[in-house]
Amino acid sequence: MSLQFQIHSTAGSARRATLALPHGAVETPVFMPVGTQATVKAIPQHLLEELDVRILLGNTYHLYLRPGHETIRRLGGLHRFMSWGRPILTDSGGFQVFSLSDLRKVTDDGVAFRSHIDGSSHFFSPEHSMDVQIALGSDIAMAFDECTEYPADRSRARASLDRTLAWAQRSRDHFEAHKHGAPWAQRAAPSVQRSENGADASSDPLQGKIPSLFGIVQGGMFADLRRESAERLVEMDFPGYAIGGLSVGEPRELTREMIAATLPLLPAGKPRYVMGVGYPDEIAEYARMGVDMMDCVLPTRAARHGLLFTSEGRLNIKNRQYAEDHNPPDPACNCLVCRRYTRAYLRHLMQAQEPLSAVLNTLHNLAFYLETMRKVRNDVAANGKPQQPHLADAPMKR
């Protein structure tokens, strides 16, 4: 079993569902906090659990470079390495290779690049991206894609789309051949599931489970190319689909338009993931349009710069006006930061460059994002039509 996606109710295009993954269940629509380097910056894992984070995103490019995917494999995989027992989705490394590395050279075979850390030379192909993600042991791996830059003209967007589709097929072929090599899938395999006294450890919750691979729709800002990308990708039959190449500098209306043009072309019974979005009102809007999964560095990165998201809008906690403000960051929020600390204190921590500033600001922003999704889920459950309970099991073809 790779994943199960059970839709409980729908309201318009929005769906309230449960995504069952090897490491646990995720209630969707879901926002996935980003844990780039095997950590959601500044937050201990037990506090992520207390926030009810159900799934994290890890960055393949960063983990490949440091500490290295083979190191993580030898330490039992990313879940064990970072002590996170719930699901993990990894990106393909493609986006960071294009945005962070130096001297990259792209061919149909893959991407040669130099590390942003030490300048060392590396090469990523679809096959290598799969090997790295399997070594990390993510619950959901992503096909290696070329994230089309913005702006890109039609011929550039088409070439990038063609390359991404060819890479999707290679990603899929390699992933299918090697996915049982995920560290936890190996541990849970029957051959190593006999304890010393010979008892069958068939109760291992990972028994019989395998990771899944999602395909990624590209096509720049051209609705017809998005359509073509989606249709050809769906023919390959992935257990879930992402819409990539958005939130790369284009106007917000264009992001929305591309999502709206693409969503109806993706199978209704499978999870749909929009990568790299967005502001709180955006993720709520996209969820209502039928997006099931989203991730973004915004809540965590903005927090470290003192930008807090609240029910009253954005709040720059560095501002002098908060120096003696005894109110919580968001009076309508019930997170552990808002229950306990004042704006004046958070401003002081920022002014004094105290590390606790990043911890508390991030905790609040994550709580706000998670609550935003919780409200959408509750709305869909309360106002939507119940679905006949059925399991839209989506195994990949062999």
307-346: which residues touch a copy of itself (CB under 8 A)?
Answer: 323-324, 326, 336, 340-342, 344-345
Give catalytic status of residue 91 as yes or no: yes
Complex with a copy of itself: residue 81 or 113, whichever CB lies closer: 81
Q: Tell which one of 114, 116, 227, 348 touches a copy of itself (CB under 8 A).
A: 348
- How many amino acids of this chain bind a copy of itself (CB under 8 A)? 39
The answer to whether residue 254 forms part of the interface with a copy of itself (CB under 8 A) is no
Full 3-state SS string of the chain: CCCEEEEEEEECCEEEEEEEECCEEEEECEEECECCCCCCCCCCHHHHHHCCCCCEEECHHHHHHCCCHHHHHHCCCHHHHHCCCCCEEECCCHHHHHHCCEEEEECCCCEEEECCCCCCEEEECHHHHHHHHHHHCCCEEECCCCCCCCCCCHHHHHHHHHHHHHHHHHHHHHHHHHHHHCHHHHHCCHHHCECCCCCECCCCCCCCCCCEEEEEECCCCCHHHHHHHHHHHHHHCCCCEEECCCCCCCCHHHHHHHHHHHHHHCCCCCCEEECCCCCHHHHHHHHHHCCCEEECCHHHHHHHCCEEEECCEEEECCCHHHCCCCCCCCCCCCCCCCCCCCHHHHHHHHHCCCHHHHHHHHHHHHHHHHHHHHHHHHHHHHHCEECCCCCEECCCCC
Q: How far apart are CA 97 and CA 62, in angstroms?
A: 10
Give catalytic status of residue 162 as yes or no: no
Q: How far is the CB of 187 from a copy of itself (least distance, A)?
A: 14
Complex with a copy of itself: residue 75 or 201, whichever CB lies closer: 75
The residue from 91, 139, 145, 292 that is catalytic is 91
Q: Tell which one of 10, 18, 39, 316 touches a copy of itself (CB under 8 A).
A: 39
Q: How far is the CB of 51 from a copy of itself (least distance, A)?
A: 13
Complex with a copy of itself: residue 239 or 328, whichever CB lies closer: 328
Q: How far is the CB of 108 from a copy of itself (least distance, A)?
A: 33
117, HSE (Cβ side, Cα atoms, 13 Å): 11
Q: Which of 246, 289, 285, 284 is nearest to 266 (CA)?
A: 289
Q: Which of 274, 302, 276, 300 is nearest to 289 (CA)?
A: 274
CB 189 within 8 A of CB 201: no
Complex with a copy of itself: residue 20 or 42, whichever CB lies closer: 42
CB atoms within 10 A of CB 127: 19
The answer to whether residue 351 forms part of the interface with a copy of itself (CB under 8 A) is yes
Q: Tell which one of 143, 182, 284, 349 touches a copy of itself (CB under 8 A).
A: 349
Q: How far is the CB of 307 from a copy of itself (least distance, A)?
A: 17
Q: How far is the CB of 71 from a copy of itself (least distance, A)?
A: 6
The residue from 131, 145, 292, 295 that is catalytic is 295
Q: How far is the CB of 86 from a copy of itself (least distance, A)?
A: 14
Q: Which stretch binds a copy of itself (CB under 8 A): 92-100, 148-156, 196-204, 351-359?
A: 351-359
58-97: which residues touch a copy of itself (CB under 8 A)?
Answer: 62, 66-67, 71, 74-76, 81-83
Q: How far apart are CA 285 and CA 283, in angstroms?
A: 5
The answer to whether residue 267 forms part of the interface with a copy of itself (CB under 8 A) is no
The answer to whether residue 354 forms part of the interface with a copy of itself (CB under 8 A) is yes
The answer to whether residue 301 forms part of the interface with a copy of itself (CB under 8 A) is no
The answer to whether residue 44 forms part of the interface with a copy of itself (CB under 8 A) is yes
The answer to whether residue 120 forms part of the interface with a copy of itself (CB under 8 A) is no
Q: Tell which one of 121, 191, 352, 397 touches a copy of itself (CB under 8 A).
A: 352
Q: How far is the CB of 128 from a copy of itself (least distance, A)?
A: 21
361-380: which residues touch a copy of itself (CB under 8 A)?
Answer: 363
Residues marked as catalytic: 91, 295
Q: Applying CB under 8 A, which residues contact a copy of itself?
A: 37-39, 41-46, 62, 66-67, 71, 74-76, 81-83, 323-324, 326, 336, 340-342, 344-345, 348-349, 351-352, 354-356, 358-360, 363
